[in-house]
Amino acid sequence: MSLLIGDVAPDFEADTTEGRIRFHEWIGEDWVVFFSHPADFTPVCTTELGYTAKLKDEFARRGAKALVISVDSLEDHKNWISDIEETQDTTVEFPIIADPDRSVATLYNMIHPSADAKVTVRAVYVIDPNKKIRASIIYPPSAGRNFDEILRLIDSLQLTDNHKVATPVNWQNGDDVIIVPSLTDPDEIDRLFPSGYKAVKPYLRYTAQPGK
């Protein structure tokens, strides 16, 4: 199954380290970072989940939360959490889905047979409170992810949902943004961006980030 940006994230029920969940119900009114890891008791995954645990407050500040999945068992997940907490000096407070039959991983196209038919690739889905997929990133099993980039992505999505702007290359929260090309009425531009803007080209207009 191919999942595209704008699609409704498929619903499912699954057992997790924090009890059984129905995905859409669990999302509630939050943003979700739903990501897979190839296997328990592996070094790269241990660092990733440890870092994710340390980002709990950063996720909460954005109205977001993490959900993790692998094809290993619930018992393995629970034992592995002890290793993560010990080696990464943190507390894991997000659910990890047990998916030994690969049903959820298959639903979300996390099994790429040409990479490895037995484990999931490092897939990331950013899902909004309307249960829509807003972004997806796929890494090979060997490469650890950059979760600071995922936070940056959420910041951009939330900002551009609420203002008629886009974020330029390497944008960080607080940097100047770009007025969307579809906005052409001068009066509306003046009203929306009272601090003014710099037009490098008619289609490339920089302005201060709204709210900053």
Report pLDDT digits (tens) over 78-135.
Answer: 999 999 999 999 999 999 999 999 999 999 988 766 566 556 678 999 999 999 999 9
Mean pLDDT of 151-166: 98
Residue owning tokens 């068992």: 73
Residue owning tokens 């899902």: 127
Q: Which residue has the higher pLDDT, 211 or 129?
A: 129
Q: What single-letter amino acid sits at 124?
A: V
Residues of the chain with CATH 3.40.30.10: 13-145
Reported CATH class of domain 13-145? alpha beta
Q: What is the pLDDT of residue 117?
A: 53
Which secondary-structure segment (H or E) carries 201?
strand 197-201
45 is catalytic: yes
**What's the CA angle centered on 109, arms 107 and 113, to 5 degrees?**
125
- Helix 74-88 and helix 43-54, axial crossing angle in degrees, nearest 10: 70
Q: Which two tokens stand for residue 31?
A: 């943003």
29-86 per-position pLDDT tens digit:
999 999 999 889 999 999 999 999 999 999 999 999 999 999 899 999 999 999 999 9
CATH topology of domain 163-207: Antioxidant, Horf6; Chain A, domain 2 (3.30.1020)
- How far apart, in whole angstroms, are the C-alpha atoms of residue 194 and residue 196? 5
Residues of the chain with CATH 3.30.1020.10: 163-207
Strand, helix or coil for residue 211: coil
Q: What is the pTM of this model?
A: 0.93
**What's the CA angle centered on 45, arms 121 and 40, to 5 degrees?**
85
Strand, helix or coil for residue 98: strand
- Which one of the listed residues 14, 33, 45, 84 is annotated catalytic? 45
Q: What is the pLDDT of residue 110?
A: 87
Q: What is the pLDDT of residue 65?
A: 98
